[in-house]
Amino acid sequence: MKSMENIKVDREYIEIYPVNWQNITQKMVDQIFSARSFDFIKEISLYVHIPFCPAICPFCKFNIAGYEPLIYQKYLNALKKEISLFKNHPDLQNRIVTAIYFGGGTGSMLTSKEVYEILDKIHDVFSISNKVEITMECHPNTVNSKKFRDYKKVGVNRVSLGIQSFQDENLRNIERNHTAQQNINLLLEALKTGFNCVAMDLMYRLPSQTLENLKFDLYKIKELSPDGVSTYSLEPEATPLESKTSKIPSDKIDKEMFYFIGDFFESIGYRRFMQPDFSKPGKECKYVLNAWRAPQQLMIGLGAGAHSQYFGGYVWANVYPVKSYIDALEQEYFPGVMGVKVSLDELKSKYMVLGARAFSIEKEGFKKGFGENISDKFNSEIKSLIKLGWMKEENNYYKITREGLYYIDNISKVFYSWANKGKGQPWLKGLYNFTPKKFYKITRGKII
């Protein structure tokens, strides 16, 4: 086995595949709005991006904007217009929406009335499962017990709280302007509200953080007992936080923390269902599983900079700047700016690239969907991963081993097709600053 010490861990965080994108053209827009994706995929997820935040964190790499009341209102109107664009799309036939996710930015900038109005619009366009999971990402400074109750009344049944740490010093070091006590109170309030699932974010590898310091947060989680925890290793590189601190724990400590967290959660009855998500059994996030677990379901990303995954046969990203997004929708243009058509071969790679993040890749699902064996299609890739000790074969699955868990992005990239090798995720293509010369209208062409 090759020595793990010599392998550089890839920290890209793969969310979308394929990535050999190009500028959207009129022809691509026509295809997106007239093509149907492969029939064996039955479910749709909707991601709704709310880019506004109460304060901007110095480590943030998301598509965000400061709050301005007028822009905010225009944005919500644009969002509803974008939802309407999908009415009667051929990809909606015989498919239902099983997960809706309000993320950001800060989903919880929305009032319950605004959530109700957006959901109303969604109901007008899509068929919604009566078991749909509706998640709201909440920043601690934007929610309280009343708002939790109001969210529940309008249909939100899962909340994900941006807690990050239960120690004031840690929160100060990453310039989060909420306190440890506030985090504890909010988590308890959310649990009391009666959502189906209350999840939280935990950050580690924080400036000056030791394993002992991390243990304090983990024991606090054990005591408070949320249903799910998403764990993020701080990545200050290329963010304003990078110049403010030289005290980020080394890769060696990061790896130690990574395995400690996994062992800890397993010891208290949580299950790792995706990298980086843990939950109590039965409390896994449907939206996350739809997006990553093979076979991945269809996904439409709504809002500025949102990404759609394999809908109308394409992956694409909407324009990032909030004002450009509003302008495009006000003039009834499609806000997508870059993307690529997903060929059948790329769909097979996607099954593996994203599926690896959920640790178990089902052989039978691949055979059913594509009519061939995974072991025939990806023979050399699988062999190389087994040789590295990162993957193993177990009955109907290829599974990521304990050693492989830390190298999940390295593993995903083994399955990139030649056209995608060496290419970064879309946000590395400078999409944050990219405003196209032209947007395109949707013309509903004949089925392709």
Handedness of CA 180, 172, 71, 330 (dihedral sign): negative
Name residue, tokens 């997903």. Answer: 342
Q: Give yes or no for residue 66 binding ligand SF4 (CB under 6 A).
A: no
Rank residues 98 and 160 by Cβ distance to ligand SF4 and give the closer one: 160
Contacts of 345 (CB under 8 A, 6+ apart): 417
CA 262 – CA 264 distance, rounded (Å): 5
Say if residues 316 and 308 touch (Cβ distance below 8 Å): yes
Q: According to CB under 6 A, which one of 19, 32, 57, 198 is a site residue for ligand SF4?
A: 57
Q: Give yes or no for residue 203 binding ligand SF4 (CB under 6 A).
A: no
CA 302 – CA 308 distance, rounded (Å): 8
Q: Give yes or no for residue 53 binding ligand SF4 (CB under 6 A).
A: yes
| Exposure b/e, 393-417, CB count within 10 A at least 16 = b | eeeebbebbeebbbbbbbbbbbbbb
Given the rule CB under 6 A, which of 25-33, 100-108, 112-120, 405-413 is the region that contacts ligand SF4? 100-108
CB of 285 to ligand SF4, least distance (A): 17
CA 280 – CA 225 distance, rounded (Å): 9
Residues 126-155 touching ligand SF4, rule: CB under 6 A, are 139
CA 251 – CA 248 distance, rounded (Å): 9
Contacts of 329 (CB under 8 A, 6+ apart): 77, 78, 79, 81, 82, 335
Contacts of 128 (CB under 8 A, 6+ apart): 96, 97, 122
Rank residues 238 and 344 by Cβ distance to ligand SF4 and give the closer one: 238
Given the rule CB under 6 A, which of 101-109, 123-131, 382-390, 413-421 is the region that contacts ligand SF4? 101-109
Given the rule CB under 6 A, which of 38-46, 51-59, 177-185, 265-273 is the region that contacts ligand SF4? 51-59
Rank residues 30 and 137 by Cβ distance to ligand SF4 and give the closer one: 137
Say if residues 319 and 304 touch (Cβ distance below 8 Å): yes
Which helix H or strand E contains 414, and what residues bound it?
Answer: helix 408-414
User: Which positions from 160 to 179 touch ligand SF4 by CB under 6 A, shown as an x/- string?
Assistant: --x-----------------
Q: According to CB under 6 A, which one of 45, 97, 104, 161 is a site residue for ligand SF4?
A: 104
CB of 174 to ligand SF4, least distance (A): 9
Given the rule CB under 6 A, which of 34-42, 55-63, 121-129, 275-283 is the region that contacts ligand SF4? 55-63
Contacts of 310 (CB under 8 A, 6+ apart): 37, 41, 296, 298, 299, 342, 347, 350
Give backbone dihedrals phi and psi of 247, rounded to 5 degrees, phi first.
-105, 30
Q: Give yes or no for residue 67 binding ligand SF4 (CB under 6 A).
A: no
Report DSSP state, residue 283.
-
Closest of 253, 441, 285 to residue 358, by C-alpha: 285
Say if residues 175 and 242 touch (Cβ distance below 8 Å): no
CB of 142 to ligand SF4, least distance (A): 9
Rank residues 66 and 194 by Cβ distance to ligand SF4 and give the closer one: 66
Q: Give yes or no for residue 60 binding ligand SF4 (CB under 6 A).
A: yes
Say if residues 107 and 136 touch (Cβ distance below 8 Å): yes
Q: Give yes or no for residue 232 binding ligand SF4 (CB under 6 A).
A: no
For residue 335, the tally of other CB atoms under 10 A from its CB is 28
Q: Give yes or no for residue 107 binding ligand SF4 (CB under 6 A).
A: no
Given the rule CB under 6 A, which of 50-58, 210-218, 298-306, 346-354 is the region that contacts ligand SF4? 50-58
Given the rule CB under 6 A, which of 98-106, 240-248, 311-319, 394-402 is the region that contacts ligand SF4? 98-106
Q: According to CB under 6 A, which one of 24, 50, 64, 289 is a site residue for ligand SF4?
A: 64
CB of 236 to ligand SF4, least distance (A): 12
Q: Give yes or no for residue 74 binding ligand SF4 (CB under 6 A).
A: no
User: Which positions from 365 to 384 touch ligand SF4 by CB under 6 A, shown as an x/- string?
Assistant: --------------------
CB of 274 to ligand SF4, least distance (A): 19
Rank residues 104 and 355 by Cβ distance to ligand SF4 and give the closer one: 104
Q: Give yes or no for residue 307 binding ligand SF4 (CB under 6 A).
A: no
- Residues lying near ligand SF4 in the complex (CB under 6 A): 53, 56-57, 60, 62, 64, 104-106, 139, 162
